[in-house]
Structure 1
Amino acid sequence: MTLKASESPSKIGFLDLWRQFIPLSLSDVAMACGDPMMTTALAHLPDTRVNLAALGIAKSLAVFFESPIITILHASNALAPTERSRRALWRFTLLAGGGLSALLLLLTLPFVFATLGGTLLGIPSQLQQTVRIVLTLMILWPFTIAWRRYFQGLLIHAGHSQAVAQASIARLVIVALVLWIGFTFKVEGALLAGTALMAGVVLEALVVTLAAQKLGATRPPRPTDSEPKLPTNLKSVWKFYWPLASSMLVVWGGRAMLVGIIARAQDANIALAAWPAAWGLVLVIANATRMVQQVIIKNRGQVADRQLIAFALSAGMLCSLLLLLGSTTPLGLIVVESFVGKDSALVEAIRPVLLLCAFVPLLVAVQNATQGFLVGSGQTLGVNRATWIGTIFLLVVAFLGVQVRVPGAIAAAIAMIIALATEVSCLAFNLRKE
């Protein structure tokens, strides 16, 4: 692929890209902050390790069921230019979200969960009931996420990224409020975590829906003489969307299977608590770079591709620098201890993971930039192929690490870095080919 400039001189500068990006980035950071907040609350309640491990397992399973509709945001942004494509995607959103919530309900049935959770994933018996409680509270998670991301995409396309950020901040506030109330009244950790997660996502979905209606993002776009050729019915939306949906299914399915691999590590008891806690902290910063994809989808054709790539690299390098400083300075130790309490074994298990993952934000930025170029040009199959290859590397490397008795959380971190680097290489190859 040849890097191209817009057909006419662009009025969108480097700082304009950052102005679009910062509110979107803040929305992802606010979302990611919810996990460390829950870690902090659970760390100061009884049965810390049990509840942290159960929350990590339940969240990975819930996100696995959510994964096929994660890219509704990408599709909504890309398909917003015509009314027919919007309507078709909306019908698809309702069907997909409702179907996935029904499947999650099926998983929470005791006999189904006992079979799949115990046999397939190897969840320790002492955690199974706690995990099932959290999942039961999160049955509507996929449907709510699908609804929310559809309206987020409309807002981004209409240039109202600040409204997306405001909704995410509202979500963070309600999560903090629920956690504070639960902590005050000593609510059981797993019950508190599931309630906080659902309260936050339901409020955010409501806020973005109202914002999209108020700001006019839901109004039919004006017809033009040369409308882009976009999917206009369920069949064509499915053809466009399935490679993206299956990519996320593979990603989060792989991460759910990663939990099963960690559960078989020599230090499984500490690793099952350390990995989700450490990865949650990494994602607080790494997630700040994910929205470069939406900026690229929105601006490609109006801004030179080289400028978009430079913007993505600048965002990734800044966030990696922040994580590196956080993992190597005394202040970083204070931050870790504030999240997980004074459990010295847990802190020592988390710190090397943070250091290993220092360059994950840069990799995530490049990953999302290359995905943005491919999605913006309709090349969703290239995204799918790269995801499969990266996830295979994730599971193989983690399995081999556990087999040679590498600590579980370290094995997961090394596997995640190699998987991201491999996926980025595949995406770049597909981009050059296109």
Structure 2
Amino acid sequence: MTGKDKLNSARIFSFWLPLASTWLMMAIEGPIMAAVIARMAEPKINLAAYGVSFSLALIAEAPVMMLMTTATALVNGWRSYNKLLNFSAILGLLMSALMLLMVTDIPYRILSSNILNLPENVAAITQTAITIMLIWPAAIAYRRFYQGVLIRYRQTNRVAAGTILRILSSSSVVLLLYKFSVCSGAIAGAAALSAGVLVEAISVRVMASGIVTRLKNNTPEDPPLDYMEIVRFYLPLGITTFVALSIHPVVTFFMGKARMPLESLAVLPVLNSFTFLFKAMALSYQEVIVALIGKDSRGYRPLLVFSWQLGLVMSLIYVLVITTPLYSFWFQGVAGLTPELASFVFMPALLLLPVPACAVWLIWERGMLLKAKRTRFITHSSIIELSVVVLTLFILIKYANCIGAVAAAAALMIGRIAANIYLIIPSLKARHFILKQTGPPGEVKNSA
């Protein structure tokens, strides 16, 4: 094996960077929306309404998120393409219909007043914002399916191009509404997000047209694929994503019952967007682990080294931001929070200090389980994380009388650590299984 063929941190970095840039572009969308809303009229109320509507939209989006992974794995020809396209369309339209039901008067009144305990002015704006976002689940289902097709046929650069178009579209819409419209900030944010996902869905379909034509005309008959097989493959992945994305709406539910609810609801979207920048870097590394570990698993050791490097660098950047003047630059200058709210969010941000390291740790554990095809443990860990978050919030708010945002940060961190700890043994067993099948870890041939 020549030095050129050896897998090292530099080669891993060059493979990871395009995937990370795609996730980073998605991660900056939230801060852009929050920053513009913070500069519009009644920022506290509108940031709170935007945060609630976005969290509820995530619940509707959750069941369609793993369509990209499913398409990547199962599209092998024209028949499987059509079966999965139909499955994606049905699932997306079903979730949009359920979202529509959620914002009709009686169900929404129960949700906003009895469950979320939202202030009346926040509830009214939130209802309109959710209505504007009804297109989300269907458009995202369509987009994720075609992103999976592009990845399956090695057109990942086009996935990144679609994300660029989405960010440009959503940013343009929110800035235009900020400059030339009298609509509230939450409404502007919802309209911008809807426009962005619609543009991205259309663009990835156009960019996949060549692949679709080849599937129709040039590929041999693929193995039979029925809808029950798709459901069996998809259900565990869908449950995992649904549980994971339900965490933030659950946190929102508890904020209405905590001390300083309006301030907490106002800063949570900003705080979530900030921490997601670090989580996104870890999430993008999952595909790198699966792709570069190799059939003989000789990429294990250099990938493990890079995981440590990534976790350390991201943790240092987090510390640098929250302990230097960069804190004011980000939370006031970029995110647009008032000095009062920027000061209010410091303690929650400090409690979330372990986020970068825990995110990389979790992705490493998941990578081992994915390689060993033991994905049920990933679902278990998500359920444990959600359960611990709920229990911690209940204790801190009901018995410790904590400020909402502080309780939220503590609960999110404790829940994530619980998920990490649960996966230690399954991931170590998966690692043992992988290395037993392939021999001792070392270096991999050209796996990229």
Return the alpha-carbon distance in structure 1 between the equivalents of residues 262 and 155 of structure 2. 45
Q: Which of residues 402, 405, 414 in structure 1 aligns to 2:410?
A: 414
Distance 1:166 1:12, change over 3 A: farther
Return the alpha-carbon distance in structure 1 between the equivalents of residues 155 and 351 of structure 2. 36
Shift of residue 274 of structure 1?
1.3
**SS of 2:208 mapped into structure 1:** helix
Distance 1:45 1:23, change over 3 A: same
Q: Which of residues 311, 321, 333 in structure 1 aligns to 2:328?
A: 333
Q: Which of residues 369, 376, 379 in structure 2 aligns to 1:374?
A: 369
Return the alpha-carbon distance in structure 2 between the equivalents of residues 260 and 431 of structure 1. 33
Contact 2:32 2:335 (8 Å CA) reproduced: no
Output aligned runs, 1:222-371, within 5 Å. Answer: 232-302=225-295, 303=297, 304-341=299-336, 343-371=338-366
Distance 1:21 1:53, change over 3 A: same
Q: Partner amino acid for 2:126?
A: V
1:107 aligns with 2:107: no
Q: Deviations over 1:161-200 (max 9, x none)?
A: 3222222122111122112111112432122111100111
5+ long unaligned stretches in structure 1: 1-8
Return the alpha-carbon distance in structure 2 between the equivalents of residues 82 and 418 of structure 1. 44
Return the alpha-carbon distance in structure 2 between the equivalents of residues 359 and 217 of structure 1. 44
Residue of structure 2 equivalent to 1:5: none
Distance 1:412 1:190, change over 3 A: same
Contact 1:84 1:233 (8 Å CA) reproduced: no
Contact 2:331 2:337 (8 Å CA) reproduced: no
Larger radius of gyration: 2
1:188 aligns with 2:181: no
Residue of structure 1 equivalent to 2:132: 137
Output aligned runs, 1:123-134, within 5 Å. Answer: 123-134=118-129
Shift of residue 308 of structure 1?
3.2
Q: Which of residues 54, 62, 78 in structure 1 aligns to 2:57?
A: 62
Shift of residue 405 of structure 1?
1.9
Shift of residue 44 of structure 1?
1.1
1:213 aligns with 2:206: no
CA RMSD in angstroms, aligned pairs only: 2.6
Contact 1:23 1:164 (8 Å CA) reproduced: no
Q: Deviations over 1:51-108 (max 9, x none)?
A: 0000000000000111111122222333345666544433321221111111001111
Return the alpha-carbon distance in structure 1 between the equivalents of residues 157 and 313 of structure 2. 21
- Identical-pair percentage: 26
Q: Deviations over 1:98-147 (max 9, x none)?
A: 11111001111111111122212222222111111110001110111111
Residue of structure 2 equivalent to 1:4: none
Shift of residue 209 of structure 1?
2.2
Return the alpha-carbon distance in structure 2 between the equivalents of residues 184 and 143 of structure 1. 29
**SS of 2:401 mapped into structure 1:** coil
Q: Deviations over 1:296-315 (max 9, x none)?
A: 33344345333333333433
Q: Which of residues 410, 419, 422 in structure 2 aligns to 1:423?
A: 419
Distance 1:162 1:75, change over 3 A: same
Q: Partner amino acid for 2:41?
A: P
Residue of structure 2 equivalent to 1:204: 200
1:71 aligns with 2:72: no
Shift of residue 342 of structure 1?
5.6
Contact 2:133 2:194 (8 Å CA) reproduced: yes
Contact 1:231 1:240 (8 Å CA) reproduced: no
Shift of residue 376 of structure 1?
4.4
